[in-house]
Amino acid sequence: MLFLNAQEIRQAVSPEEMMAAVEEAYRLFTAGQCVMADRVAVSHGGLSMLYMPCFAGAYVSTKILASCPENPARGLPALDGVVLLNRADTGQLAAILDGAAVTALRTGAVGGVAARHLARADAHTAGLVGCGVQGLHQLAFVCAEREIHAIYLRQTPGRDLTEFIRQLRAMISPRQPEIVLCPSADDVLKNSDIVITATPSRQPLFSDDPALFRGKCILAIGSWQPDMREIPDAVFSAGAEVFIELPYACQESGDLSQPLASGVLTRDRVRLFGDFLADKAAGTPPPLGETRYFKSVGMGVFDTLAAQAILQAARKKGLGQRANE
DSSP state of 121: T
Mean pLDDT over each residue of the chain, to the nearest integer? 94
Stretch 195-205: mean pLDDT: 96
Q: Which residue has the higher pLDDT, 286 or 256?
A: 256
Amino acid at 16: E
pLDDT for 170 equals: 96
Strand duo 93-98 + 2-4: pairing: parallel
Q: Which range (36-45, 102-111, 119-128, 164-173) has the least confidence?
A: 36-45
Stretch 274-279: mean pLDDT: 96
Whether the CB-CB separation of 224 and 297 falls below 8 Å is answered with yes
Note the Cα 129 to chain centre separation in Å.
Answer: 14
Stretch 171-189: mean pLDDT: 96
- From residue 7, alpha-carbon distances to 96, 106, 171, 203, 320 in Å are 14, 15, 14, 35, 10
Whether the CB-CB separation of 207 and 259 falls below 8 Å is answered with no
pLDDT band at 158 (very low <50, low <70, confident <90, very high): confident
pLDDT for 225 equals: 86
In the chain, DSSP finds a helix count (H) and a strand count (E) of: 12, 16
**pLDDT value at 325 more than 80:** no
Q: What is the pTM of this model?
A: 0.93
